[in-house]
Amino acid sequence: MTGNGSRWAVRAARFVRRRLCREWHGIVTEPVRQLVRRGLSGIVLAFVAATGVVLFHDVAQHPAGRRLVWHLGGVTADLPLWLSLLRTPVSLYVPALDLPVWAGITQLFLAFALAELVLGRARTLAVAYLTTLAGTLTARVMVALGPGWWGLGLPPEAGGILDTGPSAAVVGLFTYLAVVRRAPVVFALTGGSMVWESLAVPNLAGREHLVAVAVALVLGLLHGRRPPVPVRRLTRRPAERLGTRPVPPRVHAPDSLDPVTSFGTPQPLRIPRNPLSHAADPPNCSTTSM
């Protein structure tokens, strides 16, 4: 029994070591190589996000600035839907005033930098926006349900709580990276910590973080897969969607000088006759008639 236990321990240690090495290569080594190859231009989104959070945080320290930040990017569940959708992109730069801003900026910069180097700018922005939007819309649904509903609903007072801001995007990006790169340790540190926070302190922010984790998990599982048949049909060319056949390219008739006709039989080259070749010779002007 002791020998079997030691063998299982050695195998488990090797498995954990291989898994950690693979995660380190996918999460750290490859992004660092991309950073060395592309330079600082590969982490533009990280600098923009960190600079925006610092700017909004400094402006919000004054009463007038706090009102300005609220009108630009403040999102709550009791706002009209169109206004919430309009402010949601700016809310990515509005941090919660009761949280340590520098720790949040470090996490924000790291999340956007890794995501931009691994996924690209377009996919990074899409994941960050979709996870934040999902948390915002879910909060509205919870407030609309009201207390009860097996703990899913929220009281009306929760409708005036400020949205999570960039934290939902950070959680969503880390979760998406962990799923795409097959990194369970990173997923446990991000998604697992959000689950523990939601259970320990059941508030609106924790629920929005859980929604962001769930949406990022689904997006990560769908990464690299072909879209379903209805989506592929919608993305086809307009001619195919309308049922029309593409017009075949116009084939020009073979030239008369071409030695090969349309039937593929070689033919002798026909050179047109020169009309001047058989004309009468011009009179010799050097001789005169006597």
Helix (H) and strand (E) counts for the chain? Answer: 13, 0
Under 8 Å between Cβ of 184 and 174 = no
Q: C-alpha angle 38/42/47, rounded to 5°?
A: 140
pLDDT at 158: 79
Q: What is the residue whose two structure tokens read 């991000």?
A: 190
Q: Which residues of 199-233 are buried (b: 16+ CB within 10 A; e: fewer)?
A: eeeeebbbbbbbbbbbbbbebbeeeeeeeeeeeee
Q: For residues 267 and 280, what is the distance between their CA atoms, to the nearest angstrom?
A: 33
How far, in Å, are 23, 26, 129, 130 from residue 135 at the CA level?
Answer: 28, 28, 10, 9
Within 8 A by CB and 6+ apart from 18, the residues are none
How far, in Å, are 61, 92, 131, 170, 205 from residue 194 at the CA level?
Answer: 28, 18, 14, 11, 10
Q: For residues 167 and 164, what is the distance between their CA atoms, to the nearest angstrom?
A: 6
pLDDT at 202: 72
pLDDT at 224: 66
Within 8 A by CB and 6+ apart from 109, the residues are 46, 47, 49, 50
Q: What is the DSSP string of 140-194?
A: HHHHHH-S-TTTT---GGGGGSPP-THHHHHHHHHHHHHHHTT-HHHHIIIIIHH
pLDDT along the chain (290 residues), means of 10: 69 78 82 88 90 87 86 86 89 72 80 91 92 89 80 79 82 91 84 75 80 90 64 47 50 48 49 50 45
Reduced to 3 states (helix: H, G, I; strand: E, B; else coil), residue 281 is: coil
Reduced to 3 states (helix: H, G, I; strand: E, B; else coil), residue 260 is: strand
pLDDT at 176: 93
DSSP state at residue 266: B
Q: What are the φ/ψ torsions at residue 266 (nearest 5 degrees)?
A: -65, 135
Reading the block at residue 41, the tokens are: 């231009």
β-strand partners of 266: 260
Q: For residues 284 and 120, what is the distance between their CA atoms, to the nearest angstrom?
A: 85
